[in-house]
Amino acid sequence: MIKNKKIITVLLAASALVSCTKLDEHLNSTYTQAQFTNVLGPNGVQTLLQLAYVDLGTPFTGQDEVFSLEENTADESLVPTRGGDWDDNGVWRVMHNHTWNADHGQILQVFNNLNKLNFDATNVLGFKPSTQQAAEARFLRALSLYYLVDLYGQFPVRNPGDNLLNAPQVYSGAAAAAFIISELNAIMNDLPADNKPSHANQTVGKVLLMKCLLNQGAWANRASPTFADADMQQVVTLGTSIMGSGAYTYEANYFHNFDVNNGNSTENIFTYVNTSGVGPNNSGTDARWMMTNHYNQYTPDNPNAGWNGFSTVSDFYNSFGVGTPMVGVTQFAAGNISGLYADSAVDGRVGEKYYPGVTNISGIKPGFMIGQMYDQNGVAEMDRKGHPLAFDPTISPDMKETGSNLEVTGIRVEKYPPDLSAGPGTYEGPSGNDLVIFRYSDVALMVAEAKLRQSAADPAGALAIVNQLRAARSAAPIASLSLVNTGNLYDVNTLLAERGRELYWESVRRTDLIRFGMFNVIWQYKPSDAATYLVFPVPNQALAANPNLKQNPGY
């Protein structure tokens, strides 16, 4: 028995020997915070900052992100249900007729994606960034907060290193605006002084500050915005310094600001950079033309040519003064591919003209697409049922297309000329068009607006700025300028209409309509609606997670 005891003792000792793994986790592909800092050294901070820049891609590129919330809710865009396509559980229609609720998937994903930018930018600040890196990170956070307060009326802010299981502080109303403005003022001089549109610089910071100053009165009272004189004067000062710097000028061809070579545009102030054919984390701007093009546009061996969805409304199109009716206008004779649009006096922002590198490959003419479409050889295109592919401005009143013409209803808008740099017959995506976030003409129009809104209004100065812009676009000058005509959304002599014509489909329209007090009026395919819809609901998922968020009234 003594022997047995010895055996058992040895066995127990043995099991003690083999049983002391500490169970520390080996991550293998990822890094602990300490490793991340050590491995990358000083570059680590730059890498973190770059992540915040990359975060701009998702919320600003997708057709179902900020674009949908700003444009489909306004008078510039809608997505009709086309028989078997684009019902998508009604998500697009409720955007345009203002009947969305707090479970809407797009409202949730924009909230999450903007907050990812908010988080990743904040996270940079916990890693001992340089002064400039900290300034860029705080700018990117301010940008996400600007959109959050504009869309949802509130935003959460964490400190670097916060435990994610704890609910963060939430800012709303005046406190929210004050937070963003104080952040921008604090970092302005630490941002780089160059004018490269690929990253935050002092001009970019000024533009965001201008937007905050212009809109904070609307955030405080969306049903009846007010504008403090000091804010307006500061907008003029900031804008004038940009306009006077000589760093930015209007492009001869409006669509060059959006085409595959727009990296060298002289109007773009802040962009999200894309490179042709480069896949990972390069979201590309493909969706901007695919969402609107018909399935058969471009070439049959390129199925991604179009999704046949997004359209604009004819009232908005007509605000360019092109003349009606547009249906049946022959833009060029069959076979005459390079022929210019007959009316060269038409506003250059309408497009419908030959665009080198695009029309000769695909037949597509950027801008508004209306009437018969032609391929690169000038041959008239057909829809999938074999009917002429002729876009018809008339959309069904309930936005549900039926009948044999359901594929061709709605004027299409191709603001970004497709990237066909790979040549005919192939498309390799993603595209190389940089996504425009801030553009010079917005600065000019904001200055004009502030001149009209300041206590000592300067309508002549505002008119001069607008006519300068119109001249650059080959549009006839206007004689007088007011802010808005509440009886006519598209009165050509208003600043709101000019902002529409210049900045259409650039994700600012909802904000503009609210600031000009026109968001709740009736426009095409939209009935009257309640003041509730001046701000989006806090998504139910976010509300359930963070008790500090407060649901907006009416939801």
Partner 1 sequence: MTKTRLLRTLFLCPLFMLIMQQSWAQTKSVSGKVTDEKGAGVSGASVLVKGSRAGTSTDAAGSFHINVPASATTLVVSYVGYVSQEISIASVSDVTVGLVPDNTGLSEVVVIGYGTARKRDLTGAVASVQAKDFNKGVIVSPDQLLQNKVAGLDITSNGGQPGTATTVKIRGNNSLRTASNPLYVIDGVPLDGRSARPNPGSSFGSTPDENPLNFINPSDIQTIDVLKDASSEAIYGSRGANGVIAITTKTGSSGAAKLEAGISYGFNAGYMKKYDVLNETQYKSALTKYGVTGQDFGGNVDALDAILNHNVTQNYSLAFSGGNENGRFRASFLGSSAQGTLKNSSLDRYIGNFGGQYKFLDKRLTLNFDLITAHSTENILAVANNSGSTGNLISAALQWNPTQSFTDASGNFIYPQSGSNNPIAELAAFSDIASINTTLANISASYKLLPNLEYKFLYAINNSVGTRNTNLYAFLQGGIGGGIGQADISGARLTSQTFTHTLNYNTQLTQSLHLDALAGFEYWKSDYSNNSFAASGFQTNTNQFQISVPYTSNIQGANALGASAYVDPTTELQSYFGRVQLNYLDKYLLTGTFRADGSSKFGANNKYGYFPSVGARWVISNENFMKSNTALSNLSLRASWGITGNQEFPAGSAEDQYGIFSYGSGGLQNSVNPNLKWEKTTSWDIGLDFTSKNGRVYGTIDYYNKNTTDLLFQTVVIQPAPTANIFLNLPAQVSNNGIEVSLGFTLVEHKNFTWDVRGYYAYNKNLLTNFNPNLIIQTGAINGQGVSGTLGEAIANNQPVDVFYLKQFQGFDHNGNQTYAANPSFAGDPNPKSTYGISTTLTYKKVSLVLNGGGSGGFLIYNNTATSVTNIAGIANGRNISLNAYNSPEMPSSPVAANTRFLESGNFFKLRNVTLSYSVGNAGKYVKNLNIFVSGSNLFVITKFSGFDPEVNVDESSGGYPSRSMEYIPYPTSRIISAGLNFSL
What is the spatial distance between Cα 264 and Cα 268, in angstroms, rounded to a whole number?
8
Shortest separation between residue 10's beta carbon and partner 1, angstroms? 7
Shortest separation between residue 102's beta carbon and partner 1, angstroms? 11
What is the spatial distance between Cα 230 and Cα 41, in angstroms, rounded to a whole number?
45
Shortest separation between residue 22's beta carbon and partner 1, angstroms? 8
As beta bridge partners, residue 367 has 351, 414
Q: In 3D, which of 287, 288, 286, 306 has the Cα closest to residue 296?
A: 306
Nearer to partner 1, 294 or 499 (CB): 294
b/e per residue, 493-510, with b = 16+ CB within 10 A? ebbbbbbbbbbbbbbbbb
> Where does residue 429 rank: exposed (0-12), middle (13-18), buried (19+ CB within 10 A)?
middle
Helix/strand/coil (H/E/C) assignment for every residue in 289-301? HHCCCCCCCCCCC
Shortest separation between residue 416's beta carbon and partner 1, angstroms? 20
Q: Residue 73: which region, alpha, beta or left (left: phi > 0; alpha: psi -120 to 50)?
A: alpha
Nearer to partner 1, 29 or 480 (CB): 29
- The total number of residues shown for the chain amounts to 555
Nearer to partner 1, 330 or 404 (CB): 404
Nearer to partner 1, 14 or 379 (CB): 14
Nearer to partner 1, 89 or 528 (CB): 89
As beta bridge partners, residue 382 has 388
447, 235 contact by CB (below 8 A):
yes
Tokens for 553, please give them. Answer: 């009234």
Nearer to partner 1, 182 or 548 (CB): 548
Nearer to partner 1, 21 or 480 (CB): 21
Shortest separation between residue 9's beta carbon and partner 1, angstroms? 12
**What amino acid is encoded at 408 in this protein?**
V
214, 499 contact by CB (below 8 A):
no
What is the spatial distance between Cα 520 and Cα 514, in angstroms, rounded to a whole number?
8
31, 38 contact by CB (below 8 A):
no
Nearer to partner 1, 275 or 493 (CB): 275
Shortest separation between residue 109's beta carbon and partner 1, angstroms? 8
What is the longest distance spanned by two Cα atoms in the chain?
114
